[in-house]
Amino acid sequence: MHPADAVRDLDEAARRLRTCRLCVAAGDGVVPPPIADVRPTHRALILGQAPGIHEPTLGRPFAARAGARLRAWFAAWGLDDEERFRSTFAMTAVAKCYPGREPGQRGDRRPSPAVLARCAPWTAAHLRLLDPPLLVPVGGMAIAATLGPGRLDELVGHRFELEGRTVIPLPHPSGASAWTNAAANRALVVRAVELIAVELRLEPAA
């Protein structure tokens, strides 16, 4: 039985997730601690790919540059303010531990299929215990885990219904992703953020 299957509330999920070392024990080379922020007051859940190199030290999801870029997309609704953003969105990821560097490269490793399989029950627990009306998968891996495989330019900018909740995907805000460099793709991001703002009934920033 996976430890996530037995958790009964979000506090217990946070406590038990913090001590999860399943991938370390399996020799998968991830860097704990697991990073997530899911509280009962959240009504929307961001599902990312994995923490970056700074998050294990900073202890919060999207705490470095990718997070700042993600929040900047929401500036028109005042959610470039970090604490407002964090009180609006719960955050978890398909892999909750930093996967480490790609050998010989500057970028981070993609979480392996084995890591994704081990971490999926924690995501399922977050979804089960929070039951957010809005799910925002961020980046290709999180989108594929939620909606199945598909092209970003056919998914971003659209709203989906899945298992009784709204799903609005976003691309990954990492600087390593070139997808948002194209003007047409940036317009899709603007559209997706507008859809999220409507869903959350956000007021435009003054």
Residues engaged in binding ligand SF4 (CB under 6 A): 20-24, 30, 32, 34, 95-97, 115, 118-119, 122
Burial label for 148, CB within 10 Å (0-12, 13-18, 19+), is exposed
Asked whether 17 and 96 are in contact (CB, 8 A), the reply is yes
Q: How far is the CB of 127 from ligand SF4 (least distance, A)?
A: 15
Residue 96 or 126: the one with the smaller Cβ distance to ligand SF4 is 96
Please report which residue ranges of the chain form alpha helices under DSSP H.
Answer: 10-18, 22-25, 55-58, 65-72, 82-88, 113-130, 140-147, 152-155, 183-199
Q: How far is the CB of 93 from ligand SF4 (least distance, A)?
A: 9
C-alpha neighbours within 13 Å on the C-beta side of residue 105: 9
Query: Which SS3 state, helix, strand or coil, does residue 84 take?
Result: helix
Q: How far is 190 from 93, CA to CA, in rounded Å?
A: 22
Residue 20 or 70: the one with the smaller Cβ distance to ligand SF4 is 20
Q: How far is the CB of 133 from ligand SF4 (least distance, A)?
A: 25
The structure tokens listed for 199 are: 């869903």
Q: Is the peptide bond before 33 cis (omega within 30 degrees of 0)?
A: yes
Residue 26 or 187: the one with the smaller Cβ distance to ligand SF4 is 26
Residue 42 or 96: the one with the smaller Cβ distance to ligand SF4 is 96
Burial label for 52, CB within 10 Å (0-12, 13-18, 19+), is buried
Residue 71 or 118: the one with the smaller Cβ distance to ligand SF4 is 118
Q: How far is 89 from 37, CA to CA, in rounded Å?
A: 9
Listed residue (130, 177, 190, 181) closest to 168, CA to CA: 190
